[in-house]
Chains A and B, each alone.
Chain A
């Protein structure tokens, strides 16, 4: 509708398109999905990970931090590396889905995610957190984006976990202001996703950062001057 906003839907879609271009170059798996009526859409990525170690249902106590390995690594690693001391579950494959949608109410991107076993059994939030490194968990709890709730996906209608968007512009504004100062081009989506993603197990290869600064100079002459104006007003 309106493009005089700080981060309008068109701008969002543009940054997603640039992001996906790089993703395709490095085979990172992100793609764009349009809604049925094609009026909007979202960016999504699905990946599979193998869980090693004890079963998800926390039988007994487990001292070692459970970490996730990408499937290829798990298959290559020699069997000795896997010590299963507790009740064994066959290494379970978990499907992770990450969706990036645009919120017109808050005019920021929003990260939706869910995880399930291959048979469709969903993971609870606490199970997803087990795959996240401790340092991110602490940051997540302290940080301004400290609410993860289960919500209905606005386009698909199914339950997803969501990082609440109301604080996004708070932590994104300094990032964008700073990039302006040092006159570097920034892909909003890349910066934002690199901040919120790791907290929920989503990591971005570093090459995204270098790709962003090599991006086309301006989003479009009009858009960036509007963005600059809005940034100044903040």
Chain B
């Protein structure tokens, strides 16, 4: 793990710039200014927001204050999830800073765990560490540690002390030389699209024939729906000819593949056109489309910057190679996964 020290430090010191605003219906004696804070990704909301609490409580009366809780765009924030996880799940596609609303009443009992003290956070954190070690080492490493080691782990997190934390955590990250890894990999997969809070299953780091498993293997095994099948360039383009072919005849309708597109429909515009037609997905008439047509794929993002599994969108510019100069632009969103996107020009023949 020592050669990964840079990565470990980057993960530990990750921060999210956040703006805390008091909920408008809270009763205040004077106006509350928003409070700005850099939140550590690896920590927990209720552990790092003492200053936020004090700031807003200054303008409130004691009797109007009960347990603090946080919300983002109407969703109560689960304090027992790491901050970085909450941000990635809910707000990563929005502009920074992360805007969080602070509440002091009407605690949402059905959604959030109570957090009456720091001890509760510590108990939760240690419980997670113990469960992870149950998977990695049958709990042997964590149980062999003394209470003071457990305390050091917690204090390291609480006080943002990388060295203090890793002095103990490195023991939890070791495995015997004869093994190729842990017994099972402790992981949880969180998605906003599922009802269940997370996916957690038993998964060995090495396959039965001795191959080291990759993250991709894990995802394919436990969460196949999240893995977009590798879509090589020609396939991405394969629907284009269909579209173009179908719309080849004058006044013809676009094929049903439009329904696969995002709910807000494809953005179809004519370059230089003043007005944009409203499209009803599934039906559209393209007047005066001329064949043959050339299509060029231009990514709307920088491929190397996209992490696997993230949403990306593809812009397609189509223009007739003959006849009146007219360009059609269509945009499709998909899940980027090990897809190498290159610019390609191809012809759609009849």
The tally of residues in A whose CB lies under 8 Å from a CB in B reads 25
Contact present for B197 and A154 (CB under 8 Å): yes
Q: Which residues of B contact A158 (CB under 8 A)?
A: 110-111
The CA of A153 and the CA of B112, in the complex, are separated in Å by 11
Contact present for A36 and B195 (CB under 8 Å): yes
Interface residues of A in 1-33 (CB under 8 A from B): 1-2
Interface residues of B in 84-121 (CB under 8 A from A): 109-114, 120
In the complex, which of the residues A2, A104, A149, A152 contacts B197, with contact meaning CB atoms closer than 8 Å? A152
Q: Which residues of B contact A164 (CB under 8 A)?
A: 127
Q: Which residues of B contact A36 (CB under 8 A)?
A: 194-196
Q: Which residues of B contact A120 (CB under 8 A)?
A: 110
Interface residues of A in 77-129 (CB under 8 A from B): 104-106, 120-122
Closest chain A residue to B115, Cβ basis: A150
Contact present for A104 and B196 (CB under 8 Å): no
**With contact pairs A1-B201, A105-B135, A106-B134 given, residues A150 and B113 touching in the complex (Cβ less than 8 Å):** yes
A231 touches B (CB below 8 Å): no
Contact present for A149 and B127 (CB under 8 Å): yes
The CA of A149 and the CA of B78, in the complex, are separated in Å by 16
Q: Which residues of B contact A37 (CB under 8 A)?
A: 194, 196
In the complex, which of the residues B123, B124, B131 contacts A106, with contact meaning CB atoms closer than 8 Å? B131
Shortest CB-to-CB span from A51 to chain B, Å, is: 19
Closest chain B residue to A8, Cβ basis: B202
The CA of A164 and the CA of B127, in the complex, are separated in Å by 9
A157 touches B (CB below 8 Å): yes
A159 touches B (CB below 8 Å): yes
**With contact pairs A1-B203, A166-B134 given, residues A159 and B197 touching in the complex (Cβ less than 8 Å):** no
Interface string of B194-209 (1 = CB under 8 A from A): 1111101111000000
B80 touches A (CB below 8 Å): yes
B41 touches A (CB below 8 Å): no
A155 touches B (CB below 8 Å): yes
Residues of A within 8 A of B (CB): 1-2, 35-37, 104-106, 120-122, 147, 149-159, 164, 166
